[in-house]
Chain A
Amino acid sequence: MESTANRACGVHAARLNLVEYAVNFSDSHAPLTKPQALIEAERCYYCYDAPCATACPTSIDIPSFIQRIAQGNDRGAARAILEANPLGGMCARVCPTEVLCEQACVRNTNEDKPVEIGALQRYATDALFDNPGAPLFTRSASTGKRIAVVGAGPAGLACAHGLAMRGNDVVLFDAHPKLGGLNEYGLATYKTTNGFAQKEIDWLLSIGGISVRCNQRLGRDMTVDSLLAGYDAVFLGLGLSGVNAIGIAEPQADGLRNAVDFIAELRQAGSFSDIPVGRRVVVIGGGMTAVDAAVQATKLGAEDVTIVYRRGASAMSASTVEQRWAQTHGVKIKHWSAPKEILSENGKVSGVRFAMTTQRADGGITETDEQFTINADMVLKAIGQTYTADHAGGKIELKGGRIATDEDGHTSVARVWAGGDCRVGGRDLTVEAVEHGKVAAQSIHAALNAA
């Protein structure tokens, strides 16, 4: 039942009726039915040293879990996934599989149609969370060691789980009222419906040995030093709490926001009709955050939504699939344009003036004289996030603005490990953060319990 959105200019809530909101923000991809899952699972060749598993940052044994689905052993499939990736349920929903496991699938050679690994992974993990049964993992005997994990995003959660499983006691701190980090605050609503993020966290915590402290901010309620004094080790999964400035004057005007705040507000909304959105929206940036913000703006009833990016499509960090997702959901993507001025009238955003750009021989970007303006009553900034170093203090060595660590996540400070987006050298992927947390847990456990 389609109706016409409220087309009033400016930023307004309740542009649609409740039924439309429900439809727009429902599960973006319907889960596989059992017949679909069986047919898809039977396409897997069970490769040796499988390229898909190599491409997965957490090295999930993909052929095994798919085989188990084909054999009607869904619980075994979930075990194979979750022992490599305790957040395999969320990763199944948000991983850019098209550039990871599914890109590596050997089926691409003759068919251009990889096995739908992500969808199968969701099928197996959904089956487990719907019917958990006996615990999949049990804790080893207590080591008597206590570890502080700061930040309950994918890295911190994976680290806490790995440590607890090995018999260590974990205290999990997070600055927000809810656990989950990006999973709870930073993903588009339609990617994780029905409270899945919290359902997954409940399962993860059910292993025991993890006490939770929410609303605790590092640098305000505790410091790295105070944690080191009270715990045997510290893991920092701090994420990226800062937002890059767009490098031009930002007027104090209604309608100019950070995309991450817009996304978080949507995730925490009691009702979508409470979230105001512009009639014309401009999103500046080229990553997943830009796509999540832009698509959700259209789903809230915005009439024209444009993602503007200063380079071409291939340079966007949003994958091709994500770009297509945006374009098929009414979002226009404008390339080779850099913001010059945020226009405002009467304290409200009215548009953005852009300069066209070209690429130099050295790969850099040059602004041309050609300029254009897009009228907008809402402008969302999504040009990347930054690590805020002052929370953890100045002792920890940084590299390129993020925490420098060795392969195991050990920082320059004894007994302090770090992982996830706050750690240098990653691709800012959920699945990578999980791997950081998992490996750090192994490393912390080995270091603390060395005979």
Chain B
Amino acid sequence: MADISSNFLGIKSPNPFWLASAPPTDKEINVTRAFEAGWGGVVWKTLGEDPPVVNVNGPRYSTLMSQDRRVIGLNNIELITDRPLMQNLEEIRRVKRAWPDRAMIVSLMVPCVEESWKRILPMVEDVGADGIELNFGCPHGMSERGMGAAVGQVPEYIQMVTEWCKHYSKMPVIVKLTPNITDVRLAARAAKRGGADAVSLINTINSIMGVDLESMVMHPSTGGWGSHGGYCGPAVKPIALNMVGEIARDAETAGLPISGIGGITTWRDAAEYIALGCGTVQVCTAAMVYGFKIVEDMCDGLSNFMDAHGYKTIDDFRGKAVPTVKDWKQLNLKHIDKAVIDQDSCIQCGRCHVVCEDTSHQAIFYKKGENGERKFEINEAECVGCNLCVSICPVPDTISMRTLAVGEVDARTGITVTGEYGNWTTHPNNPQCLTPAEA
């Protein structure tokens, strides 16, 4: 059996699945239920200074559903904890004592004033927290008060606050990054310069879920007015994975520990984040959609995956996919793929044909037999290997891509595959083409 325990910045947990700082981690009762269900750790919902913030008494959440009514996105306009600081601290102390083997990270957001951080850090340390997470990412409500995303969008502020935390506390510092930013690497570099032990990302994305067309009111609304909320869930996973990958492969931040957040619903999602360099993963939406029990399926799946691939610990495959993330200009222009339709499992829906015909390369033949039987076949003379048909086919594994072997001729271009590597930087069409000597 694989060992799925994690040691992140010296913080040990029986598995890498932490609950992200969010409504599920706001109270002792919830966190206790989470630990009973088997979660490896939690990031306690963000603490702030008293008096506590006040939430709206109306809809705070709203979801985007796919056609089969599965939640693929969740938006929220919650703030940081709306309970008194001391109450939260007492509960954190109790829960950590009752569950010493679980990770207890405390999320913090106080004004951008040294005094505020100096005051709160010893209190958190005193209750036995394993580490802190700086919430520089909350996109709504708090940023309007000069905290959250407002800080996270200014690298100098990130560095300054991180430095304060490292100065006034011995706890490991994780900086949570906002995705509402042009280049996440700048924020990660600033965190590292400030002495951060790790970054966690992504926080939520600014979003409006919709508009009620009957009343012409944005949705959801609090008594007729709404505000943008933070978006998370499966739909944001690709955005988060990209940002994680960018930080993992950036020369300045390579090796900086990362806690991955964004749409993790299954063991597979978690394994992908780990493969891109994450030491732990944080989950919120999946728990808010299905309840805490899902962690069992996540642990079981991760463990079976690791057994199947001979990985004994998480570190055995952590970051294994990072070297495969490159700039576009590095991709091999001499590699050729063609789509293949498995006729045995094709259900003849014709969607591949129409999207290729309408929006791509007219590379899928539609043949009607004498008795009306339908057949869809790839026309390799037109197929550019764009993967659209593979991506939209409703039947698993029916359309796939095959790579042309060395010596095969590309029916579209007439070029014979040589197996050589050549990218845009050396391509004759590139006005800034490097000579082989320069390349």
- Chain A contacts to B: CB under 8 angstroms: 33-35, 38-39, 42-43, 46, 48, 64, 67-68, 71-73, 75-76, 79-80, 133-134
Contacts and interface: CB of A to CB of B under 8 A. Distances in A.
Contacts of A75: 304, 308
Given A35-B345, A35-B396, A71 B266 contact: yes
Nearest to B269: A71
Given A71-B266, A71-B268, A76 B304 contact: yes
A344 to B, nearest CB: 55
B267 interface: yes
B421 interface: no
Q: Which residue, B70, B296, B304, B398, has most C-beta atoms of chain A within 10 A? A: B304
B396 A38 contact: yes
Contacts of A79: 300
Contacts of B395: 35
B63 to A, nearest CB: 15
B225 interface: no
Q: Which residue, A48, A71, A134, has most C-beta atoms of chain B within 10 A? A: A71
B119 interface: no
Contact of A76 (B68, B294, B297): B297
Given A75-B308, A76-B297, 17 more contacts: A34-B396, A35-B395, A39-B396, A42-B70, A48-B291, A64-B293, A64-B296, A64-B297, A67-B297, A68-B301, A71-B301, A72-B268, A72-B301, A76-B304, A79-B300, A80-B300, A134-B307
9 contacts: A33-B345, A34-B396, A35-B398, A71-B268, A73-B304, A73-B305, A76-B297, A76-B301, A134-B307
A75 B70 CA distance: 25
Interface in B389-403: 395-398
Given A68-B301, A71-B297, A75-B304, A46 B290 contact: yes
Nearest to B265: A71
B62 to A, nearest CB: 20
Contacts of A73: 267, 297, 300-301, 304-305
Contacts of A39: 396
A13 B70 CA distance: 56
Interface in B283-337: 290-291, 293-294, 296-297, 300-301, 304-305, 307-308
A279 B208 CA distance: 73
Interface in B361-420: 395-398
B399 to A, nearest CB: 12
A123 to B, nearest CB: 14
A185 B32 CA distance: 50
Contacts of B297: 64, 67-68, 71, 73, 76
Nearest to B70: A42
Contacts of A72: 268, 301
Nearest to B398: A35
B395 to A, nearest CB: 5
Nearest to B291: A48
A372 B38 CA distance: 66
A71 B291 CA distance: 17
B154 to A, nearest CB: 40
Contacts of B68: 42-43
Nearest to B347: A35
A34 B396 CA distance: 8
Given A35-B397, A134-B307, A68 B300 contact: yes
Nearest to A38: B396
Nearest to A80: B300
Nearest to B296: A64
Interface in B176-217: none
Nearest to B303: A76
Nearest to A138: B1
Interface string B1-32: 10000000000000000000000000000000
Q: Which residue, B301, B307, B345, B395, has most C-beta atoms of chain A within 10 A? A: B301
